[in-house]
Amino acid sequence: MTGRAPVVVVTGSTRGIGHGLARSFLDRGCRVVVSGRDARTVKEAAAALGAPPDLLLGRAADVTDRRQVQALWDAALESFGRVDVWINNAGATTARRPLWDLPDGALEAVVAANLLGTAHGSAVALNGFLARGRGRLWNMEGFGSDGRLLPGLGAYGTTKRAVTYLTRALATDLRERAVTRPHDVRALRLSPGMVVTDLLLHGYGPAEYAKVRKVMDILADRVETVAPWLADRVMADRTRNGGRVAWLTRRKAAARFATAGFRTRDVLPSAVPGPAGTPHPDRDPEPDPDHGAGHDEEAAR
């Protein structure tokens, strides 16, 4: 990307991988818009980044409401004059339970955040990009995007599978449009792998956490490791329309398992955060779409 400092909008950027991405883009000289549902949380997240108003805008928006997403785009345009990159990171998951055992409203909340929220963000961003003739839409993949299965993640995995299909379909539509109306707009996918955030760790009791921690310590990485790498790939702008940038590839995961006996990785806390066995306050029974849900794609592979 060349010219004046790029403008990057990251939904679901008050915590976790989204907040890490916002910080990484700021570190690379971008102008950044952070967003989440709650105005107070957005204000706190923006303050934590410590950037001046000419580089950073905080704006509350519920991604499940198209009008609020459009207002987020409009606010970015008013503040910075344009948008170059839009990252649909906002998402949610449920407690690790079978579909039939989920509490009332949990399924609807996850579908609304992960699928409808991504669709709304994609539609708003692509409309704006096509009007300008240039722009990059990045949608966050997650566990289930490649069709893999885990007990208790049926609802979440289904939405992430749909996000992958949606992004590829958008890329196809963009190619079709370019035949008669040339443009430089791309629909792309980001895959952060397994990142240590509250979303990854929620819902485990002490015994279950002890079982999975050994595997997760092999595969997981911290936000401060993954987010800068992803930001560099976005800024490099070398991914073709419909393409994918993945931190934890199958080859990398296999290499980590192969060397696990010789190299000790200790990236997870020794005990699951919060009181043992208690539900995560943002996820059970009502998931919170302020937090990125694309960070656990490679879980238990």
Cis peptide before 53 (omega within 30 of 0): no
For this structure, is 209 an active site residue? no
- Active-site residue, from 156, 165, 204, 209: 156
Catalytic residues: 156
